[in-house]
């Protein structure tokens, strides 16, 4: 699908119908930043390149920020572009967090690009992304 | 279905101004919905969709969870020790049920 | 066979010989360093959520029923090492029972309560709790005396080709250890981490659940939870793992 057509679909249809043609990562990001393009800086995103099992994937996110009233991270949003529901999680922080330092366990449906976007109190956004490969374990017993 | 169960790991004591790490592990299947169980029924979505943490009444952390969060999810975050008091952890489940736990931080 | 083919065959044989001669290592030795650390971290290994449930059940009285704790006072002392001696032959019945079987026996015969059922969350919790009390204790399961015929049956099971793939346990878990099978590294097939939290399961499961997955993997018959066949195999695996430390609740892929 052409980018223009995808953009139109995004604007015109309710969220649930977008699964039919997964929007590109840039569009998924634009949706949480209200159109702003995040800077690729100040954020480190640690996720295994080779995921041992997509059921539980460890991620660690660290944003460089003084975490003061004047200058802090408001939230960090995780997007997995090929998950059935690409918005995976959002962490809301405050100046009292002291650091913007998060670890969590996520579920990744398949090999894909995963992005983290942080919203800053200044109004700007920063982001990082990573390509991951979900490997298959040898013995899947289906319960 | 097993009972809700949470393990909250954090220091019992901290100096004023110190940043403490709080680690939370919770037992929940985080059913993302749509799977078929052994009896052939479609499992409805039932996840914990939010964890809110307040520290002596002040919100200090919130975790919005969607279907892409693992079963039995783990999360860690930080907060600055400001005064002795309780951290209140509240989970909200699809359907409206809530679960709460508290942990005390003594600030010296 | 070409010269190159012969050379390859020799190398493979040599590798197989090395694997056999190696000291047997637990399943955790085949995990990534990150998962190894997580297994040992009680704040991070979800298996401890089940251990906690088990401890609650252990301490709980149901009406007039005595709690497990009523007989097994101070379990951190009194039951330390107990799990490292299972499976064993039950003196009264002459049958081989594992830790799950012993807990169910206590529940039915002494507490006069209905059995939890194999693989129920309650039995998994109690088994994980009792096993966790022996964390770090070397396995010391007997293959002698009354246990001998069961050990021999388990060994025969381990060495017998089974299923549509016509594979015996020993072909992979002795001769191909360290090699890759899809995304996994083949281990020695040691059960010291069970009950274990397996990412594949999104939960805690017993060794027999894992064995059922093995049977399915080679497209062989899956035996029932607690069946004589898997009990005998569990005994053989435990004797083979003699001296290795219990590490339940383990963390596995």
User: Over 90: is that where the pLDDT of A59 sits?
Assistant: yes
With both helix axes pointing from N to C terminus, report the angle between C207-217 and C228-240 in degrees, rounded to the nearest 10: 100
Domain that holds residue C92: 47-132
Q: Tens of pLDDT along B30-75? A: 999 888 887 888 989 999 999 999 999 999 999 999 999 999 999 9
A3-134: CATH topology is Immunoglobulin-like (2.60.40)
Q: Active-site residue numbers of C?
A: 214
Whole-number mean pLDDT of chain A? 85
* Residues C90 and C143 placed together within one structural domain of the fold: no
Domain ranges of chain A: 3-134
* Residues C32 and C145 placed together within one structural domain of the fold: yes
Taking CB atoms and an 8 Å cut-off, how many pairs form between chains B and C? 38
CB count within 10 Å of CB C231 equals 22
Count structural domains, chain C.
2
Q: Each residue of B56-90: b (16+ CB within 10 Å) or e?
A: eeeebbbbbbbbbbbbbbbbbbbbbbbeebebbbe
* Residues C94 and C115 placed together within one structural domain of the fold: yes
Count structural domains, chain B.
1
Mean pLDDT along residues C45-67: 93
Instruction: Quote the pTM value.
Output: 0.89
CATH code (residue B88): 2.60.40.10
Which value, in Å, is the radius of gyration of the alpha carbons in chain C?
A: 19
Residue C125 lies in a domain: yes
Please give the pLDDT value at position C183. 78
**Which residues in C lie closer than 8 A to residue A143 (C-beta atoms)?**
201
Residue A102 phi, psi (nearest 5)? -125, 140
Q: How far apart are CA C195 and CA C51, in angstroms?
A: 10
* Residues C111 and C149 placed together within one structural domain of the fold: no
| Record: contact C253-A137, CB cut-off 8 A | yes
Please give the pLDDT value at position C41. 97
Q: How far apart are CA A90 and CA A75, in angstroms?
A: 7
pLDDT band at A9 (very low <50, low <70, confident <90, very high): very low
**Which residues in C lie closer than 8 A to residue A53 (C-beta atoms)?**
199-200, 253
| Record: contact A143-B19, CB cut-off 8 A | no
Domain that holds residue B24: 5-107
Residue C10 lies in a domain: no
CATH code (residue C164): 1.10.760.10
Q: Tens of pLDDT along C61-119? A: 877 889 999 999 999 999 999 999 999 999 999 999 999 999 999 999 999 999 999 99
* 18-47 in chain C: CB under 8 A from chain A: 32, 34-35, 38
Residue pair A50/A108 in contact by the 8 Å Cβ criterion:
no
Among the partner-chain residues C35, C200, C216, the one whose CB lies closest to the CB of A55 is C200
Backbone angle region of C84, left / alpha / beta, with phi > 0 → left and psi within -120 to 50 → alpha: alpha
Chains that touch A (3 or more CB pairs under 8 A): B, C
DSSP C110: I
Residue C114 lies in a domain: yes
Please give the pLDDT value at position C90. 96
């Amino acid at each position: 699908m052409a980018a223009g057509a995808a953009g139109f679909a995004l604007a015109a249809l309710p969220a649930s119908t977008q699964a039919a043609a997964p929007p590109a990562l840039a569009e998924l990001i634009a949706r949480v930043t209200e159109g702003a393009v995040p800077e690729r800086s100040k954020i480190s995103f640690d996720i295994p390149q080779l995921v041992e099992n997509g059921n539980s994937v460890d991620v660690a996110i660290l944003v460089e920020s003084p975490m003061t009233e004047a200058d802090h991270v408001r939230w960090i949003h995780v997007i997995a572009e090929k998950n059935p529901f690409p918005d995976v999680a959002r962490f809301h922080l405050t100046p009292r967090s002291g650091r913007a330092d998060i670890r969590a366990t996520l579920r990744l449906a398949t090999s894909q690009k995963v992005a983290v976007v942080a919203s800053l109190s200044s109004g700007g956004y920063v982001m990082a992304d990573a390509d991951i490969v979900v490997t298959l374990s040898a013995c899947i017993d289906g319960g | 279905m097993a009972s809700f169960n949470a393990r909250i790991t954090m220091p019992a004591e901290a100096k004023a101004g110190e940043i403490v790490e709080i680690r939370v592990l919770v037992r929940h299947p985080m059913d993302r919905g749509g799977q078929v169980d052994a009896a052939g029924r479609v499992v409805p979505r039932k996840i914990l969709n939010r964890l809110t943490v307040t520290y002596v009444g002040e919100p200090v952390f919130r975790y919005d969870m969607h279907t892409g969060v693992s079963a039995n999810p783990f999360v860690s975050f930080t907060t600055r020790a400001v005064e002795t008091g309780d951290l209140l952890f509240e989970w909200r489940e699809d359907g409206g049920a809530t679960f709460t736990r508290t942990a005390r931080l003594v600030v010296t | 066979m070409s010269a190159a083919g012969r050379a390859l065959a020799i190398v493979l044989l040599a590798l197989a010989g090395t694997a056999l001669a190696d000291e047997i290592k637990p399943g955790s030795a085949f995990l990534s360093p990150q998962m190894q650390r997580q297994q040992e971290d009680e704040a991070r290994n979800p298996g401890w959520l089940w251990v906690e449930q088990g401890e609650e059940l252990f301490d709980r009285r149901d009406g007039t029923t005595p709690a497990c704790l009523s007989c097994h006072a101070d379990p951190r002392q009194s039951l330390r090492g107990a799990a490292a001696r299972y499976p064993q032959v039950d003196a009264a019945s002459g049958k081989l029972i594992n830790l799950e079987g012993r807990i169910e026996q206590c529940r039915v015969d002494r507490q006069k309560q209905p059995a939890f059922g194999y693989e129920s969350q309650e039995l998994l919790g109690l088994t994980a709790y009792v096993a966790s009390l022996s964390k770090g204790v070397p396995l010391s399961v007997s293959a002698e005396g009354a246990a001998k015929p069961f050990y021999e049956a388990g060994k025969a099971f381990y060495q017998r080709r089974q299923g549509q793939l016509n594979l015996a346990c020993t072909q992979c878990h002795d001769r191909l250890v360290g090699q890759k099978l899809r995304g996994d590294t083949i281990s020695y097939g040691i059960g010291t981490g069970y009950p274990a939290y397996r990412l594949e399961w999104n939960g805690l499961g017993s060794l027999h659940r894992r064995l059922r997955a093995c049977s399915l993997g080679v497209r062989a018959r899956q035996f029932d939870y607690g069946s004589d066949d898997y009990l005998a195999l569990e005994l053989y695996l435990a004797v083979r793992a003699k001296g290795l430390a219990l590490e339940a609740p383990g963390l596995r892929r």
